[in-house]
Chains A and B, each alone.
Chain A
Amino acid sequence: MNILELRGISKIYGQLSALSEIDLDVAQGEWLAIMGPSGSGKTTVMNIIGCLDKPSCGSVVLDGQELSALSADELTAIRRDKIGLIFQQFHLISYLTALENVMVAQYYHSLVDEKEALAALDRVGLADRAKHLPRQLSGGEQQRVCIARALINYPSIILADEPTGNLDEANERVVMDILHQLHREGSTIVVVTHAPEVAAHAERTVVLEYGKIARIVLGGDPSKAPEVGEACGAGA
């Protein structure tokens, strides 16, 4: 069963076509990587999947709900209920503790629950750092708080934008281990990255070039793995 279906997605900024006729399906519980060089359109795809932007044409169906016709407020509600976002820059609120940063997501979603937020931090190994401010945490720890925040409302899909882009190797390993754990538990994960070693963890990698799907690769490193599709239009 597909959790996400993109059909004929294009995005045009002025005269620039950022995405052109993208078709993509993501199965429930799948780990998908989206790769591509700068300007290939991966951030645009991420924004469209994450309901932060709307496509110029085409349809997006997330968890059975068509998104392209929704208003800004309705997209906000979808983001709140169905999507967990992990950012390269972590984007933690500087004046709130790790625990409060997780609880902020609860606050906008429904009701705050300190025990549950603490459990989410425990899940990423940060229960003992709950009362620390972001500036008192290492980059890896901040990213783990960001992951705990993304998980707290049980999203249908976790979207990670260069999740290890600002981390050293050791922390990269920790973060990827957490993503593996989430995947094992059944979470659907979409990672946008330009790093093959990050994409290598995914079950399937979509490579974008010039706003189109250049190829889809099953398993780890797209430079080594066998290709299963070419050009645009390849489904899962």
Chain B
Amino acid sequence: MIKKNNSFLLKILLSSIVRRRSRLMVALVGIAIGATVLLGMVTLCYDIPRQMSREFRSYGANMILVAAGRESLMMRADIENAAALLPPEKVLGLTPYRYETVRSNMLPYTAVGVDFAQVRKTSPYWHVTGQWPERDGEILIGADVAEFTRLVPGRGLTLEGRNKEQARYEKDVTVTGLLKTGGVEDGFIFMSLESMEEMTGEPGFVDVAEISVMASGRELRDLAEAVRSGQSRVEARLVKRVTQSEETVLGKLKTLVYLVTVIVLVLTMICVATTMMTVVMERRREIGLKKAIGAENRSIAREFLAEGLILGLLGGLLGSACGLLFAQVISANVFNRSVTVEFYLIPATVLVSALVTIIACLIPVRRAVDVEPALVLRGE
């Protein structure tokens, strides 16, 4: 029998909403907009680190591998072993670097042996005029070196030096391109690691390796720690300049998103409270009548809160659908990628919308239970 009363209450609440939809539409739209922004923003908030990680990787590697302890050189095999400790899907690129001091026309230069295919992944900001080296004996020269030596792509030169055994070496090379980064790279000569090993006659050594990892903050620190603890001959260090600015930007972005979300929720509350207040004023006669025929204050309060709850749930559902769309549109326009949806956020958004609506209804409900039936029924 109580069930019958509850279904009657639901029926009159739905009748109230459906038959007075034009008035409640304002509140519903307000709640839906709030839920849209809430779900959209929170989804972006979850997805931004993933999206931004890719963006930030264009500013260079965020982890470097160096020899552990007092060693200054690492073996290439050690680097490969260390990289194997990282999840492959997180590693965007791994570039080994080997530095040698060479001379050309009696002038000293720093020659760097790299993997050109990998360096394009770890340092996408490298700007090369001319061609990237493809064969043995082809080099890139930094912009400063080019300016000093007047070398241009296509010109040849001879590099000479001594290896760790003090054995003299010499190699004829051809410039294929000029490198401009605006950094220290502009003062170096770059050749493939294989060319350098062939030139020095010392294969297998590397000074440092740069890794571009798709992670930030704690996750990145944990990955570095995993390498440190899993590989005794190699030490993983984070590139503070990159990782810290990444964390700072992400932190500020998240704060901004949370702030906007809170402001939107407060505005939603004001919108709902104002609409419900108008509804109460319009329905004073109805409330007075209900009290006159025996409705208790708690019944009146329960009806208005239940109406708010229904509005909140409907607005939350509507807003969730729009919020997903909103997040997709923002992600597609800003990051050129589709957003990854955390599906548990949908029921959470609906619940928050219902809660916000109920809070917004508290003052109007207070007004409703204060209605004096005798005054209202007399038309005062």
Taking Cβ atoms with an 8 Å cutoff, the residues of A that contact B are 43, 47, 50, 52-53, 73, 76-77, 79-81, 85, 87, 89, 91, 93-96, 100, 103-105, 107-109, 111-112, 133, 149, 153
Contact = CB atoms under 8 A, between A and B. Distances in A.
A36 to B, nearest CB: 16
Given A47-B374, A103-B8, A108 B293 contact: yes
A95 B294 contact: no
Contacts of A100: 11-12, 15
A104 B294 CA distance: 10
Contacts of B15: 95-96, 100
B293 A85 contact: yes
A73 B294 CA distance: 9
Interface string B1-44: 11011001101100110011000000000000000000000000
B70 interface: no
Interface residues of B, number: 30
Interface stretch (B47-55, B77-85, B295-303): B295-303
Given A79-B294, A105-B294, 13 more contacts: A47-B374, A50-B292, A81-B294, A91-B285, A91-B288, A91-B289, A91-B292, A94-B19, A95-B15, A95-B20, A103-B8, A108-B290, A108-B295
Contacts of A81: 294
B256 to A, nearest CB: 44
B293 A112 contact: no
27 contacts: A47-B374, A50-B292, A52-B292, A52-B377, A76-B291, A77-B294, A77-B296, A79-B293, A80-B294, A85-B292, A91-B285, A91-B289, A91-B292, A93-B286, A93-B289, A100-B11, A100-B12, A103-B8, A104-B290, A104-B293, A105-B294, A108-B295, A109-B294, A111-B2, A112-B5, A133-B19, A153-B294
Contact of A95 (B19, B296, B297): B19
B183 interface: no
Contacts of B292: 50, 52, 79, 85, 91
A52 B11 contact: no
A107 B291 CA distance: 12
A73 B297 contact: yes
Main secondary structure of the interface of B (DSSP, over half): helix
B156 interface: no
Nearest to B294: A80
B133 interface: no
Contacts of A112: 4-5, 8
Contacts of A53: 374
Contacts of A111: 1-2, 4-5
Contacts of A93: 12, 286, 289
B378 interface: yes
A104 B25 CA distance: 25
B88 interface: no
B379 interface: yes
Interface string B261-295: 00000000000000000000000011011111111
Nearest to B19: A95
Contacts of B19: 94-95, 133
